[in-house]
Structure 1
Amino acid sequence: MSDRVLAAYWATPAIARNLTTATVVLTLLGFFGVIPSYYLFYHPSYLFQMPPHLWRPITGFLIAFERFPMSLLFDAYHLYSYCAQLETGNARFPRKVDLIWYILLVCSWILMMDYLFGFDHLELLPGLILAMVYTATQDQRGQKAQYFFFTVPAQAVPFCMIAFSMLMLGGRPMIQLEGLLAAHMYDFLTRIYPEFGGGPVLLRVPAWLESIVRTPRTAKRTYGTAVRPSGPSTGSSTGAETGGPLPDSWKSRGKGHRLG
């Protein structure tokens, strides 16, 4: 039974799995005092003290203490669900490095907006979740989605989440609004402006990040890009190939005769 659970766990999308696991583990460790929760909250002032708490901009996106445990349940569910959608079913993120670059950009913009607007949110996870929801639903126009007991247009889900937070005691609509703005900024710079404004793609994945994250090897050609399989060639020593438009009788080599 445990082997099946572990196999199912490791079969889930890697980025969604790791983000959700880190969120659940850090929140539980902080809530039960294994790690002082004081060291997990984010505040910009901690970055300017000596020594600076450089981990706080990361842990701030991986905790859900407010209204525990309901916040953890809902946030973990939405984080995994929409991150998995982006990782496995969104054409805008064909490689894992593309999604990682998206997450880094969105989180950086949320941190910048939170500082410039003077909100000083201690927990930033709702902003990241809302950004993922917005990005995932942009390619679902015309489809319907279920939000609690209501059926709404898919692209309206992020706005329903913000409205629900505004009506709920202790909701976090402002950090969610920052996530919405960050996701729209990414959408504008990578899709709207290049496709409809005729401009260049301004947010390409940097080379240093591609060198860190493993991606399929590609072969550059004058007429496109071919992906090389990671495994060895399956062709036999006779030189025959298993695919192609020619009939099988044309692919095998005979004994051969000298001409002339």
Structure 2
Amino acid sequence: MPPRAQGDVRGVHDRNAADWYWALPPITRGLLTLYLVTGLAAYMGILPLMKLYHNWSLTFKMVPEVWRLVTTYSFIGRPSLHWLFQLVWLAKYGSAYESARFSHNTADGITMVGVGCIAGLGFDLFSWLLSRFLPPVFVSPFHGPALVFMFIYLWSKQLATAPVSLFGIVQLQGRHLPFAFVALDLLMGQNIWPDVLGILMGHVYWFLTDVYPAASGRVVIRTPRWLTRLCLQHGIGRVPVQAANLANPSDARFRAFQGRGRRLAD
């Protein structure tokens, strides 16, 4: 094959990979990038994990290290088979859920992540208090895996009857997928607390946004207007202008025709 043709083939593959990446919803794409970077950085020994993991003893000390409440969600592990599985699950089920639920308002999706993370810290605090009286089984220094599993659980609620094939062997409905993954991690000897925590985080959000409002007529979770404005002004995903309630519509940066330029192949 001529050298030029070889270059053309490589260029097509590169464009396909880039198109796939940029076609991911913004929240999923951001988390996927974060976990790729932190995982590789930890593998190379340049990520200070001791400064990022979460421990309530460090949070409650005289000078609280409050940043750990956030950085605990920034890491899912070093490169391994389980690490790769989590990235695949996030790219597949996280992007599917985000596209189905938040395709028209990315700010709502960011609110979902925030609510889930706060719920996760609440459950983690409860388990930490119990660990003083019971064996510390339900304690994990990083909650990134729980955040990934929250997406899987919420996807299972959004597409409960969707057919799912587990490794091409077991046929399931969407609602059963999270529990199948828990069983799989248990068989592989993995700590299932991150999976359980992710289910609890997702269930809290699902209950507060779907179950309780339908039963009571009250809306509990509302996306802050400042977050909607921030997403709109910086072109983060898609946000309806009317949801931002801008005093001056010109404050929003119109980005409908802004994006990554593409050069057509000859």
TM-score, normalised relative to structure 1: 0.75
Q: Deviations over 1:22-43 (max 9, x none)?
A: 1110111122111232223222
Within 1, Cα distance between the matches of 2:86 and 2:218?
35
> Which residue matches 1:147?
166
Consecutive unaligned residues of structure 1, counting only runs of 5 or more, are 221-229, 233-260
Within 1, Cα distance between the matches of 2:187 and 2:87?
21
% identical equivalent positions: 27
Within 2, Cα distance between the matches of 1:134 and 1:80?
14
Matched, 1:213 2:223: no
Within 2, Cα distance between the matches of 1:158 and 1:18?
22
Of the candidates 55, 75, 87, which is equivalent to residue 86 of structure 2?
A: 75
> Which residue matches 1:133?
152
> Which residue matches 1:167?
187
User: For residue 186 of structure 2, what is the amino acid of its counterpart?
Assistant: M
What secondary structure does 2:160 align onto?
coil
Of the candidates 217, 235, 238, which is equivalent to residue 199 of structure 1?
A: 217
What secondary structure does 2:117 align onto?
helix
Within 2, Cα distance between the matches of 1:102 and 1:93?
13
Specify the structure having the higher radius of gyration (Cα): 1
User: For residue 60 of structure 1, what is the amino acid of its counterpart?
Assistant: T
> Which residue matches 1:89?
100
TM-score, normalised relative to structure 2: 0.74
Q: 1:124 to 1:81 in 2, by over 3 A?
A: same
> Which residue matches 2:264?
none
Of the candidates 100, 114, 120, which is equivalent to residue 110 of structure 1?
A: 120
How far the C-alpha of 1:95 sits from its partner, in A, is 0.8
Consecutive unaligned residues of structure 2, counting only runs of 5 or more, are 1-10, 129-137, 233-238, 245-253, 257-266
User: For residue 108 of structure 1, what is the amino acid of its counterpart?
Assistant: I
Q: Deviations over 1:16-59 (max 9, x none)?
A: 11111111101111221112322232222232346543332333
Matches within 5 A, 1:9-88: 9-49=21-61, 51-65=63-77, 68-88=79-99
How far the C-alpha of 1:111 sits from its partner, in A, is 1.2
> Which residue matches 1:235?
none
User: For residue 224 of structure 2, what is the amino acid of its counterpart?
Assistant: P
Within 1, Cα distance between the matches of 2:142 and 2:255?
44
Higher helix share: 2
Matched, 1:188 2:232: no
Greater relative CO, 1 or 2 (CA 8 Å, sep 6+): 2
What secondary structure does 2:216 align onto?
coil
